[in-house]
Amino acid sequence: MDPAIYLGTFGCSASEAIAVAEAAVYFCAGGTAEPVLTLGAVRTAFARLDLPAGTLVIQPPDGLTLVNFDTNFYTTSTEPLTRTVTLLGRQVTLEATPATYTWDFGDGKSLATSDPGAPYPALRVTHSYGLKGTYRPSLSTTYAGRFRVGGGAWRQIPGTVTIDGAGQPLRAIEARPTLVGY
């Protein structure tokens, strides 16, 4: 058979296969190809998963905080998500795990952590607003992934997927301390 060039998610059945770049282009010396599940196909499927935005929790609640006060931020979205897809007729299990949380505080400052924060009194992710005003803090969650074909071993998926969450209204107000008698 004559040599052949294949585009897409195919691999060569011949032992002289040469993969060219990330574009999934294969040169097959034997001229035949059969569908082969590639890491590129898995990475594409991972990037297309419908992953949820992380849930942003702000304390104090009700969209109100004080200027120069440590406002607490955390997320309850910490567990891995598993989805099963079919690629080239094979069952592939994809697992997406939150790896990085990027806290955008809405005032031009942000913080990237692997820590999901925690509810009060464990103040692990906080921000203090220096001026009164209305802000829209948000949370972006970056997922790392791994996969397995059928019941095979887990393998890491190169790259990550970031899902941006919607901003929440937060108003920072000033308060004047007042001494009162009992």
Return the CATH number of 39-173, one of 2.60.40.10, 3.40.50.410, 1.20.140.10, 3.30.413.10: 2.60.40.10
Whether 23 has a pLDDT exceeding 70, the answer reads: no
pLDDT at 1: 45
Model confidence pLDDT, tens digit, residues 30-86: 555 566 788 999 999 999 999 999 999 999 999 999 999 999 999 999 999 999 999
Alpha-carbon dihedral sign for residues 71, 76, 77, 80 = positive
The residues pairing with 126 across neighbouring beta strands, listed in sequence order, are 72
Residues sharing a CB contact under 8 Å with residue 45, sequence separation 6 or more, in sequence order: 85, 87, 92, 94
How far apart, in Å, are the Cα atoms of 60 and each of 74, 91, 106?
A: 12, 45, 16
Whether 11 has a pLDDT exceeding 60, the answer reads: no
Q: Are strands 25-28 and 18-20 parallel, antiparallel or unpaired?
A: antiparallel
Least confident range of 38-42, 99-103, 175-179: 175-179
**Tokens matching residue 98:** 């939150």
Who wins on pLDDT, 156 or 21? 156
Whether 7 has a pLDDT exceeding 60, the answer reads: no
pLDDT at 84: 94
Model confidence pLDDT, tens digit, residues 118-176: 999 999 999 999 999 999 999 999 999 999 998 899 999 999 999 999 999 999 999 88
| Domain spans, the chain | 1-36, 39-173
Alpha-carbon dihedral sign for residues 142, 125, 172, 170 = positive
- Using only C-alpha atoms, the chain has a radius of gyration, in whole angstroms, of 24
Distance, CA of 85 to CA of 49 (rounded, Å) = 9
> Per-residue b/e over 153-166, b at no fewer than 16 CB within 10 Å?
eeeebeeebebebe
**Tokens matching residue 104:** 């955008």
